[in-house]
Amino acid sequence: MKFAARTVVVITLLTILAACGSASGGSNSPSASTYIQNKGSDTIVNLALAWAEAYQTVKPDVRISVTGGGSGTGLTALISGTVDIANASRKIKAEEIQAAEANGIEPVEHVIARDAIAVIVNPENPIGELSLEQIARIYRGEVNNWSELGGEDRPIVRLSRETNSGTHVYFLEEVVRLGDKENKEIFSADTLLLPSSEGIIAEVSDNPNAIGYDGLGYVTPEVKMLAVARTADQPYVLPSVESVNNGQYPISRDLYMYTQTGAPQSVLDYLSWILSPNAQQIVTDLGFVPVLNTTAGK
């Protein structure tokens, strides 16, 4: 969230650096071993950019190019062998593993952080809490007016990430379908699909009728987070690092980086650093949930 404003600048800088490395000799040159291409999840992109910046101070000879485009985009690039690290806010699918193996690539999964998906509304909306069932019914098109939930007589405007987003896939499976693998429900046809996390925030902050969802690290004071309960008779909990770690918040997930078996040592060293306390502190700073206890010994 704090790095969103300079995303384009950093991506441009890293891409220029990478291009310089490629121009010095191509894939067979010594410089290629210190060039890491990282692509995928828009949820992770700001975190990946922050890590890339910090790692430059640790290993100045390693150049890291970071781009977004969605989890599906990153995994497709991994399958085709055109990226070193694919970022994903969902687990790789069985058919994606099969496609990779058919191309001689064996994906390797790395859990690099955790995330809460916040359900958000405009601050003018008096609704402050919803159960998973209520959220599912909204997004399936079964509830269409806020008055049906105790709010004002206003039509509900549903917002979602686009279908290539890992966040979209996770929300579909775990919220719209309530985690039931046999459930084939889909988003209501009038759901507006937006290409970025920032776009969801902007639209919700401008539209008093809107409801959306976003990674906790992207939530700003311009929107209101709803407390969510697993069922109507259970506690309603706001998303936070604490409520994810103690298992109380019901919409949370692991975040992933995928490499392939036999990845260069420079890539393995980078992934090892990402799991270090210093790198995981960046996870906390950006509003995500670390996979390590970075406060130990402080």
What is 227-242 written as a DSSP string?
EEESSTTS--B---HH
The answer to whether position 160 is within a domain reads yes
Q: Is 55 in the same domain as 110?
A: yes
Alpha-carbon gap, residue 228 to 30, rounded angstroms: 52
Angle between helices 277-285 and 265-274 (to 10 degrees): 60
The answer to whether position 53 is within a domain reads yes
DSSP code for 73? H
The answer to whether position 36 is within a domain reads yes
Supply 133's token pair: 């069932």
Q: Is 135 in the same domain as 42?
A: no
The answer to whether position 238 is within a domain reads yes
pLDDT for residue 34: 86
Q: Is 179 in the same domain as 74?
A: no
Q: Is 108 in the same domain as 166?
A: no
The answer to whether position 293 is within a domain reads no
CATH number reported for the structural domain that contains residue 24 in this entry = 3.40.190.10
Residues 231-240, mean pLDDT to the nearest whole number: 96
- Could you report the per-residue pLDDT of 242-272, keeping only the tens digit for each? 999 899 999 999 999 999 999 999 999 999 9
Domain count, the chain: 2
- Could you report the per-residue pLDDT of 11-57, keeping only the tens digit for each? 434 443 444 443 333 333 434 458 999 999 999 999 999 999 999 99
**Domain carrying residue 243:** 116-252
Alpha-carbon gap, residue 63 to 202, rounded angstroms: 32
Q: Is 237 in the same domain as 263?
A: no
Side-chain half-sphere exposure of 44, counting CA atoms within 13 A: 37
Dihedral angle of Cα 187, 191, 193, 199, to the nearest 10 degrees: -120
Q: Is 135 in the same domain as 235?
A: yes
Q: Is 205 in the same domain as 105?
A: no
The answer to whether position 294 is within a domain reads no
- Could you report the per-residue pLDDT of 83-110, keeping only the tens digit for each? 999 999 999 999 999 999 999 999 999 9
Q: Is 55 in the same domain as 81?
A: yes
The answer to whether position 295 is within a domain reads no
Residues whose CB falls within 8 Å of the CB of residue 246, separated by 6 or more in sequence, listed in order: none
Say what percent of the chain tops pLDDT 70.
Answer: 87
Which DSSP helix (H) or strand (E) runs through 197? helix 197-206
Burial of 253 (0-12, 13-18, 19+ CB in 10 A): buried
Nearest of 170, 277, 284 to residue 217 by alpha carbon: 284
Q: Is 128 in the same domain as 86?
A: no
Of 228, 252, 276, at which residue does a domain stop? 252
Q: Is 101 in the same domain as 121?
A: no
Q: Contact, 56 vs 10, CB < 8 A? A: no
Q: Is 159 in the same domain as 183?
A: yes
The answer to whether position 212 is within a domain reads yes
Residues 118-133, mean pLDDT to the nearest whole number: 98
Q: Is 212 in the same domain as 260?
A: no
